[in-house]
Amino acid sequence: MVDNRKFISTDKVRLEVENGEVVDFALTLIYIPGGEEEPENVILYDSAHGEIDCHRYWKESDIKETKRFQYRTQREAFKEVYKELKQNWQRYLKLYKKHKK
């Protein structure tokens, strides 16, 4: 049996591809405050269970919300989540920093 899975991973993006198709992904916005402080997760989207889970770390606790995106494939879902995060990252970071005070 040939294993055709590939893993692409950084601190911000994890993408699992099998036979040329996206089968799982995670996108994380990370705040790097600098100095001695460790990087902190701001928001995480993942498709671990076939639905897109959204973890918003500026809430009182890690509230896991399932966001419904209209898609037919994991590839389409990845593109839509990436677009949403790209458009709203500054707002999410502002909410995170406000909560951390």
Segment 71-84, tens digit of pLDDT: 778 888 888 888 88
What pLDDT, on a 0 to 100 scale, did the predictor assign at position 67?
60
Whether the pTM exceeds 0.95: the reply is no
What's the mean pLDDT in 48-53? 76
Q: Which of 2-6, 26-30, 78-82 has the lowest mean pLDDT?
A: 2-6
What pLDDT, on a 0 to 100 scale, did the predictor assign at position 49?
73
Give CA–CA dist 33/44, Å, rounded.
18
What pLDDT, on a 0 to 100 scale, did the predictor assign at position 15?
81
Give CA–CA dist 78/101, Å, rounded.
32
